[in-house]
Every structure is written in structure tokens, then in C-alpha cells.
Amino acid sequence: MNRQTNKRDNSGDSNDLTYKIKSALFGVAVGDALGVPVEFKSRKTISENPVTDMIGYGTYNLPAGTWSDDSSLTFCLAEALTQQFDTEVIGKNFVEWLYQNHWTPGGTVFDIGIGTRQAIDRLAKGKRAENAGNFEANSNGNGSLMRILPLLFYCSDKPTTERFELTRQVSSITHGHIRSITACFYYLEFARHILQGKDKFEIYKILQTELPDFLNTLSISRDEIQIYHRLLENEIFGVNEERIYSDGYVVHTLEASIWCLMTTDSYKDAVLKAVNLGDDTDTTAAVTGGLAGLLYGFSDIPGRWINSLAKYREIENLCHKLGRYLNETGTNNAPRVETEKNYYRINMQKALFVARELHKRGYEKLRVVPCVSPSGMSWRCSFVTEKDKAIISNWISSFLEEEINTEINYSITELTNCFEREHTTFLETCKGTDKKYKEWYKQMLNQLEEEELPYAFGEYFSPTDYWDTSKNRKIATLPNEARFYKYC
């Protein structure tokens, strides 16, 4: 493995913000355009006639230099960032791309992923941008990763929590599942360290500590973080090509792009390696190309490839416009995204206090089983007995109007009264005394901070004698509580 220090860009203007934006955006577009003519071709087929240069026609029968949705949506995002940050503006640009051919290379949209199409259709019908994307675990195509890079220039100077929140918002316009958000975040963090001039192997190592440390402060299930183990725990650059996958799954695209970056020493070699992996060639090369452009600099991207790009001048103008805007406003002076109160957690925490109130009213056999949903994005909690259960998190959600982001306007007493009225059958099974549990539960609640939620992860395969919390703490449970986790 070649561990030589990065070849750096020595051109005079390499520290200029606009130059860096050009390195990233042209890096994406050139990679994309190299892959378009062979998109969907298998690795085996491509290996018989490997791509070594910018070619035309092929899959879509379009001239050389034609870029696709990856670049279009990247430009739509970059354009939106030339004014005050607003996810609605980003969403509006996406709609204009799909329905009015905005930022298309030749006046038509010829390539689009399923999740992106569904989200943009929802945007066109008036859905708020931040909630337009799919949130399911089976909607983790590479559609937000392929277009996320311009966000780097807006958020690189902000604190980690704000960078993550911005990444979440922008990814969620089309891809709202935590897996897609994590991929975008890893990618942007890698890019941020490149901007700071670090060596790529140093960055890889840093992220193995920095990223899990930060993600563990969020209520993300361990299983979700573990999905990225090939990047976060192992040396992906030592993996053989047969074990690098280049389909449209976001995890595979991120892995493949980092692999291509780490195992080559120039922009050209990195993107050609990505294209020749086959399958989702344009996106793997676009994602690789963004980082490789930043790492080696605009001057390392072959000039003839850049000159062949459709709308080369428009792209260059966009880079200048974004650079000018960010220089004028200063990314640090740009309006801050407030780290708002997490009303979801505040409201869900009320469920836990309803349980204490029910204990006080003589329902001491009621147990509480909290866990994180399989998607990792929501908290589930059931009230259970040996005979019955009620999913309390769903019940609390029924008090929320759609997309409401405020605190439920009921006191714990009022909520408990409602629960008593609506769950008479279940509460019959809760009657009785269990002083030990009641006391432990009260102590557990006393330990919780505002917005903090506990969860047991439903680990009935390997029962634990503690609950984790969303603030990365552990709370000891009574012995044998894990026998109830199957109810969650």
C-alpha cells in the first residue's frame, strides 16, 4: 500500500475559496461525465474495454462531457447556497431541475433515482423540503451523497452539532434515513479535513475516532453505526477490489469512493478507478471525484476533460458566485442554525412521567420498555405487563399535529387522565403492588436530564443489566428486566 504523502496542489491560487469550490464542483462533474456513457455496465463487461478517457455516447447516446443528475443536483444545491441558507430554496431548485430542466447539460433530465424522484414529486406538491425525502431503511440509495458536497463550503467553520444538523436537513430533502445522513456526514467531514490540508491517511484515522465519538452522542442505534465498520474500524484501502461494491446503495458508494481515493495518487487515477468498478459508474466517480478534486486541486483535473464538459462556463460562473457570496458574508457570519430544543424528545419523555403517575395511582405492575426503532431515527416505548402491552410512544404521537415542533400542551396529570380513560383493559393488568420496581423507576427518572431518553435496544439476544441514554450514559436496571424487552 502506497502511504506517500498526498500530492498537493501547488498552483498560486490554491488557497482561494473559489478555487476550492471549483476543485470540488468540477471534480464531481468530470467524474460524473466519465461514468455516464458506461452507467449500468457490469465490472466484468467494462474490464474487457476499460475507460481511460472522456468518451461519449454509450448508455444514453449522449456526447462526451455530458454530466447527469449527480452534477445537476450538486449545482442546484450550490446555487441555493449563493443566498441565505434555506432548505426550501434548495428544494425549489430540485423541482425546477426535474420539471423545467434547470441545470441540465443538454436541456433534458435523463437520469434520476427512485427515492429522489419520489421526494421531488412530493416537493412539487408542496411538502416541506426537510420532510420530503423517504425515511425508511430501504430508501438508502446514494441520491443525497452524490449531491451533498457544496454544503461543505457553507458549514465547514461551524460547530460539529451544527454541521451534522445542516447535513441532516439537506440530505433529508431526498433521503431522510440516518444511514444516508451518516454517509453524507462522513463524506463532508473527510472533505473538511482535506480543506485543512491534512494527509488522506491521517484523515482516515482521525475519522475513525471523531465520527463514532460524535455519533454516539446522538440517539442512533449501534447497529446503524456498525454498518460503517469497514470505514470506521478497518482499513478499507487494504480490501481487494472484489469486495468493493459499486451499486447504488449509499454505504457501498461511500466505501467505494474512499477506496478509490485511498488507493490512487491523482485525480485522474481515482476517478477512472471508480468508473471501471462498473454498475453505478457515474455516481461512484462523481462522489470520488469531489474528494479527489479537493485533495489534488483543480489544476490536477485534466484540462481536456474540463473543457469537454457541457455548460463549462456556467459551472465556472456558479463557482465564482458561490465563492463571492461566502467571502462577502463569511461562513461564520452566515445566519446560524439554532440548535433548537428537541421537542420530539421532550414530548416523548412525558410518556415516562405518565408511567410514574400511573404507579402512584396503584398500577405498580406496569413496566416500561424503551428502545430505539430499527431505523435508528425514532424512539419506541411500551408499557407492558406479563399479560398485555400498550405502545406509549405511538400514543404520545397521537397528541401531535403533523410536523408540529412544539411541546404538547397537556400536563402529566391530564395526559395520565387521558391514558386511564383510553386504556382501561390494559390497566386492569397493571393493578397491584411492586414497590421495588416503583422505587427503582422513580430513581431512574430522577437521573434523566431534560430531553434525555433511555433505551434498552431490545437486546433480548444478549440481555444487559443497564439502559443506555441519548446522552451516552448508562442507567442500571433491576436484574432480569431484559425478559420484558421482547415486547418492544
Minimum distance, C-beta of residue 69 to Mg ion, in the bound complex (Å): 4
Question: Is 68 a binder of Mg ion (CB under 5 A)?
Answer: yes
Candidates 49-57, 66-74, 373-381, 455-463: pick the segment binding Mg ion (CB under 5 A).
66-74
Residue 174 phi/psi, 5-degree rounding, is -125, -30
468 binds Mg ion (CB under 5 A): no
Note whether 69 binds Mg ion by CB under 5 A.
Answer: yes
Query: Cα separation of 296 and 14, whole Å?
Result: 10
The angle subtended at Cα 12 by Cα 6 and Cα 16, nearest 5°, is 85
Q: How far is the CB of 28 from Mg ion (least distance, A)?
A: 11
The amino acid at residue 270 is A
CB of 456 to Mg ion, least distance (A): 42
CB 291 → Mg ion: shortest distance, Å?
Answer: 17
Regarding 280 and contact with Mg ion (CB under 5 A), the answer is no
Q: Which stretch binds Mg ion (CB under 5 A): 106-114, 169-177, 412-420, 467-475?
A: 106-114
Only segment of 43-51, 58-66, 68-76, 230-238 that touches Mg ion (CB under 5 A):
68-76
Indicate which single residue of 9, 79, 111, 452 sits in contact with Mg ion (rule: CB under 5 A). 111
300 part of the interface to Mg ion, by CB under 5 A: no
State yes or no: residue 279 binds Mg ion (CB under 5 A): no
Q: Which of 9, 70, 224, 255 binds Mg ion (CB under 5 A)?
A: 70
Q: Nearer to Mg ion by C-beta: 286 or 453?
A: 286
Neighbouring C-beta atoms of residue 203, cutoff 10 Å: 24
Instruction: Find the DSSP H helices in 178-311.
Output: 178-195, 200-215, 222-226, 229-232, 250-262, 267-275, 281-296, 303-308
Q: Give dist(CA 52, CA 60) in Å, integer.
A: 19
- Residue placing its CB nearer to Mg ion in the complex, 68 or 104: 68
Task: Give the three-state DSSP class for 466.
Answer: strand
Residues found in the chain: 488
Distance CA 125, CA 265 (A): 46
Of the two residues 68 and 393, which places its CB atom closer to Mg ion in the complex?
68
Instruction: Give the range of 62-70, 355-363, 411-419, 478-486 binding Mg ion by CB under 5 A.
Output: 62-70
- Closest separation between CB of residue 113 and Mg ion, Å? 8
Q: Using the rule CB under 5 A, give the single segment among 240-248, 279-287, 292-300, 384-392 that binds Mg ion.
A: 279-287
**Residue among 51 and 358 whose Cβ is closer to Mg ion:** 51
Residue 70 or 189 with smaller CB distance to Mg ion: 70
Contact criterion met (CB below 8 Å) for 260 and 270: yes
Which distant-in-sequence residues (6+ apart) come within 8 Å of 79 by Cβ?
Answer: 93, 103, 318, 321, 322
Please choose, from the candidates 337, 434, 342, the residue with its C-alpha nearest in 3D space to the C-alpha of residue 384.
434
Question: Which residue, 189 or 282, has its beta carbon nearer to Mg ion?
Answer: 282
- Cβ atoms of 122 and 82 within 8 Å: the answer is no
Q: Which of 79, 130, 189, 282 binds Mg ion (CB under 5 A)?
A: 282
Q: Could you tell me which of 245, 247, 450, 433 has the C-alpha nearest to residue 347? A: 450
**Site residues (vs Mg ion, CB under 5 A):** 68-70, 111, 282
